[in-house]
Structure formats: structure tokens, C-alpha cells
Amino acid sequence: MYSIKELSDMAGVSARTLRWYDRIGLLQQILFYRERGVELKKIRSIIYEEGFDIMAAMEEHLYELEEQKARIDGLIRLVRRSIISMKGEDRMNDSEKFMAFKENVVKKHEEKYGAEARAKYGDKGVDDAQQKVLDMSEEDYERFVNLGEEILRRLEDAVQNGISPESEEAGRIVALHKEWLGMTWKKYTEEAHKAVANMYISDERFKMYYDREVSGCAEFLEKAVRYKIGE
């Protein structure tokens, strides 16, 4: 906990003004920014900035806290299950095992691609996509996995057979890819679709995934998406 003096120094105001900030909800925001590692000088510039919307700031604060809680709750469940399993007391039912499996999938994806994805699409976009995976039924998840495998199989066939990225088959692949993305996206947009396809050729890890058996699949998909949607 911070003392009154520390908080007033943090905000650059007197203790009396600080109490007023507490009444109008501004103190909470000061503490919030401080917890995020924002420097004191930057905090002062934010809260004194013209047009600072305290309601919008508090709503953002609430959203981030809820997301943080959801992630922590997921980690707690994962650790608890690991402890039970290590003790030989694994009593999870099928539904719990499936949830644990999805949580592990999301965790591994976050570790591998999370930083880049969050930088490109923001925390909310990534968190929403991860939540959609966690909310999938077994049937939905099976469809999601099978769809991804079908897309890759069709890409490999298209490249090996010299099919044009502007062909009808390429259009069908793009349609399947759109459906696949829609299973984890909150809202589909053509611009976002093109951005993802571009990432498949600009990020070596994605390129290696699509080209692991047949070279040129990532480039084919990017060209097909760009042609189908338009430059």
C-alpha cells in the first residue's frame, strides 16, 4: 500500500487534492497506471491531458482487470489439475479434460505467437480470439482443426499442380480460410483477412507452418486472398 505522501507525490498534488481525486475516481486511475509500470511523470501528463476521459479510462481499467482475472483463473485451474494429476488423484471428467486441453493449446499459442499478435491486433483482439477457442464445444473444435487441415491439404495440392491463385479452387480455399478465421474472430473484416495472409509470408514461423511439406503454400494463400478480396 502507498502512504498519503507517496500518493500525493505520485500525482504531483497536495494531500487535500488527493482526497478530492479519490472522491471523483481519479486516484484509482493513478494507481492503475502505476501498477502497469507507467513512470510518474507520464502518469501526471496523462491525467492532466486536455480531454482526459475518466469514464473511458475506468471502463478500460475494468476490462483489463477482468481479462487479467480470467487469465489468472485459467492458470489456477491448470496448476490445480497438474497437482492432482501428479498426486495420482486425477478425477477430471471428459468435459474438464477437454477444457484443460484447450487451455494448453491457447497457452502454447500465446507463448509462440502472443507478442506479435498482441502488437498487431491489440490485447482485446487476441484475448477475444482465445476466449472463442476456450468456448468451443468438442464438435466446434473438431471442425476448427479439420478445417485447418483441409486448407493446408488444398494449398499443397494447388501448388503441386500449378493451379493459379486466381482460380476457382483458390477462391474456395480463401472461402474456407475465411470460415476458419471466423471461428476465432469476434468480427471478420476483409482488411484483417489480408493482414493475416500477409503475415503468413512476412513471419517466418507462419511461413514454415504452411510450407513445411510443400514450399510455396504460404505465398499462394497470400496471393489468393489478395486477389479474391482485392488489392
pLDDT tens digits along 2-43: 555 555 555 555 566 556 655 656 666 666 666 666 666 666
Q: What integer pLDDT is reported at residue 48 of this predicted model? A: 65
Residue 182 confidence (pLDDT) above 80: yes
Q: How many alpha carbons fall within 13 Å on the CB side of residue 21? A: 21
Residues 26, 41 within the same domain: yes
Q: Is residue 95 part of a domain?
A: yes
Task: Tell how many helices (H) and how many strands (E) occur in the chain.
Answer: 11, 0
Residues 122, 70 within the same domain: yes
Print burial letters for 189-199: b (CB count within 10 Å at least 16), e (below 16): eeeebbebbeb
Residues 114, 185 within the same domain: no
Residue 189 confidence (pLDDT) above 60: yes
- Domain with 194 in it: what CATH number? 1.10.490.50
Domain residue limits at 149: 139-229
DSSP state, 12? T
Reported pTM: 0.59
Residues 167, 117 within the same domain: no
The SS3 call for residue 188 is coil
